[in-house]
Amino acid sequence: MNAVVLLTGDLPIALANTVRLRRGRLQDAIETPAGLAAWLAETAPALRTALPAHALTGVGEADASEARHLRDSIRSIIESQAAGEVPAEADRERLNRHAAAAPGWPRLDWDDDPVLARVSAAAPVAAALAEIAGAAIEMLCSEQRHLLSACAAPDCIRLFAKTDPRRKWCSPDCGNRARVNRHYRNRNA
């Protein structure tokens, strides 16, 4: 993945987009524990939950499996929302279960100034996934849910929040590919 600055509200969409089509083949960035650890390390600055380096070296297959299940539920719920449909109950239950898996609380730390730390009794990876699940619930219960969309470009399965109501694609690259494809189809018709 490319290094990007994420806001907390972007985390559920970022997790949902860890699966994508590339040249017609499905690629999963969190298919392995190492892939999940790399993704978590990249997104750690956007998390309120502390993810120390030792927690990322201990990411196991169970963590990766949980992350994939959470991702698939978030994707399914966002796709349903974008289509104006009610999400499947199983996906809603899984999202709620993930959010409840690691209750957290604020803690006051002090360097030169007060610092708000978010802590949990759960393992750091489980706490991070619970935070992302909670952010997904907050996003889906806010007005932002009306901005959620699936990319309209052929061979793209990415999700995004529309910043412009006319926006159809997740990125300028997808928009360019779609326009080029349309141009060639019209030219050869």
Strand 159-161, strand 148-150: pairing:
antiparallel
Q: How far apart are CA 48 and CA 127, in angstroms?
A: 10
pTM of the model: 0.84
Looking at residue 31, its pLDDT comes to: 97
Within its chain, how far is the Cα of 122 from the centroid? 21
DSSP 60-129: -HHHHHHHHHHHHHHHHHHHHHHTT-PPPHHHHHHHHHHHHSS-EEEEEEESSSEEEEEEESS-HHHHHH
Q: State the CB neighbour count (10 A cutoff) for residue 66.
A: 19
Please report how many Cα atoms fall inside a 13 Å half-sphere around the Cα of residue 126, on the Cβ side.
12
| Structure token digits, residue 85 | 């449909």
Looking at residue 169, its pLDDT comes to: 85
Task: Kindly report the average pLDDT of the chain as a whole number.
Answer: 89
Strand 19-22, strand 114-120: pairing:
unpaired
142: left (phi over 0), alpha (psi -120 to 50) or beta: beta
Looking at residue 5, its pLDDT comes to: 42
Residue 82 pLDDT exceeds 50? yes
Q: How confident is the model at residue 98 (pLDDT cuts 50, 70, 90)?
A: very high
Looking at residue 185, its pLDDT comes to: 76
pLDDT digits (tens, 9 = 90+) for 3-27: 444 444 589 999 999 999 888 899 9
Residue 31 DSSP symbol = S
In the chain, the domains with their CATH numbers are 8-187 (1.10.3300.10)
Looking at residue 9, its pLDDT comes to: 57
* CB contact set of 123 (below 8 Å; sequence gap of 6+): 55, 102
